[in-house]
Structure 1
Amino acid sequence: MIKVVIVDDEPKLRQGLQTLIPWESLGFTVTATAANGKEALEVIQEKSPDVVIVDIRMPVMDGLQLIEHLRSDGHHLHFMILSGYADFEYAKQAIKYGVCGYLLKPVDIGEMSASLKQIRERIEEERLQREWRKKEVINRDLYLHSLLVSQEKTEDPTKLRSKAIEADLLWPHYEVVIVYPRVSEVDRSDVAYQLSNGLKATIEGQMMGLVTVIPPYTVLLLNEPLRGRQRRETLYNEIRNAADKVRFAAATGGGVTAPEDICKSFLKAQEAVKRSFFSEKNRLLDPYPFFSPSLASPGLSVDKAEETMEEFIFRLYYSLEVGNQNVILPLLNEVAAFFLQQGQDEKSIKESFFFLSNAIIHKLTAGFCIELKETEEVSRFLNGIYQHDHLDDLLEETYRFLLALAKDSEPRGKEQEFKKMIDFIHKHYADNLRLEALAGLLNYSTAYLGQLFKNKTGEYFNTYLDRVRIHKAKELLDQGMKVYEVAESVGYTSVNYFYSKFKRYEGCSPSEYRNP
């Protein structure tokens, strides 16, 4: 049934039209009436009719004002005008608003029924046209999808070309651009369709190509290659405007000239999007990356990779501990380069940075209780590692957070640095401490730091470290620990070597010290 709203300020006329016109037999149903234009606006908004029968002269808002208001708001309605003889010239103005009929009062039932039949035929024709257009769009999308995802090497190019002709897609050039919404998996498909609707006006409206959706991507099939930086930037900005505040990655698969190669451009665009984590921000990505994890050198063994990771943790932690901020970001870049050389993908790199950051945080916060607020910040940072869209952002945020968390990270001259180094030795005597490593962390040459240490303490670095270890060993022996346990606890991997060191500094063996 076609829905009708009657708008007239005369109650008798409204009632008469409802009862005298054979609405149902004509294919219509009266869903509501209104006494003036303003009242009609609310009714039309609620009932969404197909036809509005409206009087010309009414209080508050007349018929022409109502029609003008509805047209300007984008309502596609069919209007029938009612007026008296005196309003004939006035009613002619309604022609510019596309009214379907004009009847004089008093209304003739036969004349009005004939006009309604004409309106019904027009509405049915429009509905049929919409259905055909809808089917055309669906069919076109089916053909387009078959061209995009066709991966059968044996498929006849002639058959693919026939598909392109049927879908009116036989163009001289093609280039596929895809947009990947960086939202939750649950929302990704809906957002892809929203992006598609937002981009249709630009791409299809300007005859640049077609827009469709192959979840999780919004897909643009352009009919000209994207030559030049300016065209790429313009298209990227159009995508950004359509996306509004939604984070996304966009990539091109490069230009092709044959319908059977459209699928190749689509695949290359997908590969480029998958590498977006390693690419520059805020630009349309190319199918030819400056670096890809798949091009990395063969990975190290598990043991060697773990050893290298421990070394990075050691260097980063020691640098933060002694306040050498200048080496932190270069070290993080070195870490990222190592992960890339090992062929790690986005997910693996984020997991590795989580492990590395967590280990350093535990070392930095060991020995003192951090407040709840700081605990929440640590948790937020660690969880946020997985939310970064680009490696550069991940490195920058890791750098910022570690510096903020490190205690006394600002260097205060050589005396302060030397004091930190002494404190560091007393805290980490059990580690594999080397003068060369400390010199690198403090940006000194090994020879200079060794001489500075000798001048300040009166002993060489290794001698000082041995004395700290032996002093701690005596405490542990006094507590009843076994000799081999003590040796390992204070940093000696060889028990025999520990024996010789202990006897050298104490004049007796560890056993003799414990049992005089």
Structure 2
Amino acid sequence: MLRLMIADDEQIIRETLAEIIDYEALGYTLIAAARNGMEAYEIICDEYPDVVITDIRMPILGGLELIERAMKSDSNITFILLSGYSEFEYAKQAMRYGVRHYLLKPTDKDELIDALNAVRQERLLESRHKEESRREILAKLEAPLEQCFLMEALESLDNFPPVYRKYQSLLSIPYAHLTACVCSYVEEVCLKRFASDVYQYFAARHIPLCFPVLYVRNNAILIFQAAALKDLENLKEYLSQLTCPGQTVTFEPNILHPDTSLNLFHTVFGKLSRFEQILMLDPGGKVNEIHNNIASPSQINRITEAILLADNSSSIGTVLDTVFDDQLSLDTARNLALGLFLKLNPIREEQPLDAACDFFHKLYSCTDISAVKDFMQVATQQKKACPSSERQSPNITLVKAYVKKHYANENLSLKWLAENYLFVSVGYLSKQFVKEEGIRFSDYLNRVRMDEATHLMRYYHSDNINNIARQVGFGNNPQYFRQVFKRYHSCTPSEYLKNLQPA
């Protein structure tokens, strides 16, 4: 369902728009109806709507100003603009913000339905493209993620479930109906041919292999999704009769039947844990050797501890400088960054893959070691040792610290923080913020800005309202600043300044 908001200063129009259409039948959830542009913008900051139906003329923030301000903090919002004939020239200005849907007042119900259907189709197409992009990103990352999974699991067999849950969704591992086959007497000289034949066998029968072929000291392990018992019997027969150049003995397959995917991987990785060298063979014939290198879990743990103990950004930069050396290959640097991210940002059920994929996309857009290091400087800065308690999670501590430092940025929003700073779901972060702070993010941000505004007035004797508005994050909109100030202090900025003057 798409999240829809209505913004109009006329009550009868708001109520009519809210009631004349069955939005759920069109694939929408009506989340709010704002009475003016200021209220609309604050709702956007907190409720992250997908679509906004807005009047072009409203008090405090007009429709165009609302669009301009909102698009800076969330460029994915689609606006449907309502305007009268005399305002159409204003509406045309919105084209520079990508607004394509205009409706003339009085609003025709069928025209609005057509516009909403068109927007939904556009969003469905965007969603399909995004899903394809996400699949492509995860496909490119499949090999390093599989290696990270195996290496971390080998060091965490005593506490395996959290490790498994972290990677299960990233690697699309089915919950049940997985089987493993341990094929003995596979000599390394014929390993590549064996793996090639096995991949062809499974592909021809449309049986999905859910992990690369694993190999340790003459034993190859296949992990797959078996549809029927007959599939297992056919596989055992095939492997028993398979021959490869250089093979001296007959292969001997044995089937493992754990009840869940978690137990299966735990069993398989437990069998691998006593070997120093493990090989992973992908369908393209590439062989990856797993051993203790810079991207191993023990090294990741050491670097993570150093980052968390660093007391400032300069110290974190020093840690990263020693880790991301120019002698590293780009693939190793990316794998190391990936391991650090997964260690510092454990994937939880409340956080969908979009947030992680956004990080992956940005990481794999880095084209050299320096770019990877600079990106990780930003990504790890948020995770430096910060005070937290049973009452407050690190995420909320970090949000509040960021607001304190960057409140002057007029485009600051919870969605931006979620997607670019914390790499979590905005919905998850929004609920977490309200739960722990008892107020919406926009209220908290405005309160910080108003406190700073009064600080400027009281301690620096600043009386330039326009300049104060800019310094506390209201850009070139002093009228919006005055309205927010009056709401928090029950007087205008000018009245507040007058009260500061001695009698």
Please indicate the TM-score interval, normalised by the length of the shorter structure.
Answer: 0.3 to 0.5
Relative contact order: is structure 1 or structure 2 higher (C-alpha 8 Å, sep ≥ 6)? 2
TM-score w.r.t. length of structure 2 = 0.36
TM-score w.r.t. length of structure 1 = 0.35
